[in-house]
């Protein structure tokens, strides 16, 4: 099963490098279902993996002048603040069992996976329709739309460990009229900053096992 996980990791890298999105939203399910990592811990590991991968991609795009530092900085001022608040204070307060429905407990792990399923469908719909929307949109560059997108991206990154590229790319293209390559490079930088910041917050209360390829360690974490 882990072999399929490593193959999936390669595909995640391809997704991030080619479209600047799809990293975190794929990494968490891979960690949970193929590497059997607990959900909350998987979101933390996803932040590190996606953050580091995105940083390498952002550096490459910066050398090719495909990164808008000013916009990335503005986006991160909003989204990174949301990530910091969620990962530092809100997430540790969320109980493992949220509520009970007809005798069936609904846990945060289950709720997280349901949210991921919804986001996967939304992400697919957004990316499929992106070209048609770009052709039809006026793209007024409204700063309030950009700030709103930053809040949403920060919430997704903080709660679920996803970078939010599927929101970032359409926002940059539609609202600011970015070229697709520039949107990808800028998106990777924003994802890298948000993800690594979130992971840094997790280091204070998450048990990080850097030898994640050793499957026996996950059984110890689940016990």
The tens digit of pLDDT for each residue in 58-110 reads: 898 899 998 999 889 888 888 888 988 888 888 888 888 888 888 888 888 88
pLDDT of 221 strictly over 60: no
Structure token digits, residue 31: 């960690």
pLDDT of 29 strictly over 70: yes
CA distances from 121 to 111, 114, 167, 219 (A): 16, 11, 13, 31
**Residue of higher predicted confidence among 41 and 126:** 41
Express each pLDDT in 130-177 by its tens digit: 555 544 444 445 677 778 888 888 888 888 877 677 778 877 877 777
Identify the pLDDT of residue 216: 39
Structure token digits, residue 154: 């920060």
163, 50 contact by CB (below 8 A):
yes
53, 218 contact by CB (below 8 A):
no
pTM, to two decimals: 0.74
Percent of the chain residues topping a pLDDT of 90: 3
Quote the mean pLDDT of the chain: 77
CB-based contacts of 48, cutoff 8 Å, min separation 6: 195, 196, 199
C-alpha 208/C-alpha 126 separation (Å) is: 33
Mean pLDDT of 48-55: 87
């Amino acid at each position: 099963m882990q072999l399929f996980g490593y193959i999936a990791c390669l595909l995640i890298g391809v997704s991030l490098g080619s479209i600047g999105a799809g990293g975190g939203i794929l990494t968490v399910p891979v960690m949970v279902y193929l590497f059997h990592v607990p959900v909350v811990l998987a979101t933390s590991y996803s932040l590190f993996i996606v953050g580091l991968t995105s940083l390498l991609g952002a550096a490459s795009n910066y050398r090719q002048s495909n990164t808008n530092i000013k916009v990335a900085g503005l986006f991160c001022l909003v989204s990174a603040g949301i990530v910091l608040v969620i990962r530092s204070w809100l997430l540790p307060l969320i109980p493992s069992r949220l509520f009970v429905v007809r005798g069936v407990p609904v846990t945060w792990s289950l709720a997280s996976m349901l949210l991921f399923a919804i986001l996967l469908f939304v992400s697919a719909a957004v990316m499929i329709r992106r070209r048609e929307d770009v052709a039809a949109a006026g793209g007024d560059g409204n700063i309030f739309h950009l700030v709103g997108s930053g809040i949403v991206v920060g919430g997704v990154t903080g709660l679920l460990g996803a970078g939010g590229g599927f929101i970032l790319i359409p926002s940059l293209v539609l609202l600011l009229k970015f070229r697709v390559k520039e949107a990808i490079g800028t998106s990777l930088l924003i994802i890298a900053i948000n993800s690594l910041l979130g992971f840094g917050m997790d280091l204070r209360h998450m048990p990080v096992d850097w030898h994640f390829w050793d499957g026996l360690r996950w059984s110890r974490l689940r016990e």
